[in-house]
Amino acid sequence: MPPNCPGCQSPYAYEDRDLWVCPECGEEWSTESVSTPVEGAPMVKDANGNPLTDGDSVVVIKDLKVKGSSSVVKVGTKVKNIRLVEGDHDIDCKIPGIGAMGLKSEFVKKA
C-alpha cells in the first residue's frame, strides 16, 4: 500500500524509481524521508502546511485580538518554544509582552 502524501495526505501516491510522487499536489519524497508520527501526538500544521513540533519557533501572520483585554498580538511577532496541545487552540506559548496564551495554528507560520 503506498504512503499518503506528506503535503496533502492524498492516498494516490505512486512510486517513480526511488521517489514517491503525488499526482494531486506534485510533491516528491523518498521513502527514507517519511517519518511516522508518534502515536497519540497531535499532527499540527502551520498556515503554509508545514508540520509543527514542540519547541519550534513561529511567527504570527495576522493581528490577533486578545480576549478579555485591549492587547493585540501584532503581525510578525515571533513566538519561541511552542507546545502542541489538542483542542481548538492547538498551540500553547508565551508571547513577549502579553504572557501565556493559546493560538490556532492557522494564524502562524514556522520561523
Average pLDDT over residues 1-30: 81
Residue 32 has pLDDT above 90, yes or no: no
Residue 35 has pLDDT above 60, yes or no: no
- Provide the pLDDT confidence category of residue 73 given band limits of 50, 70 and 90: very high
Report the distance separating Cα 22 and Cα 12, nearest Å.
Answer: 7
Residue 34 has pLDDT above 80, yes or no: no
3-state secondary structure of 93: strand
**Which has the higher per-residue pLDDT, 50 or 10?**
50
The pLDDT tens digits for 56-66 are 999 999 999 99
Report the distance separating Cα 59 and Cα 71, nearest Å.
Answer: 17
What percent of the chain is helix, strand and coil (3-state, nearest 5)?
5, 30, 65
Q: What are phi and psi of 51, to 5 degrees?
A: -70, 140
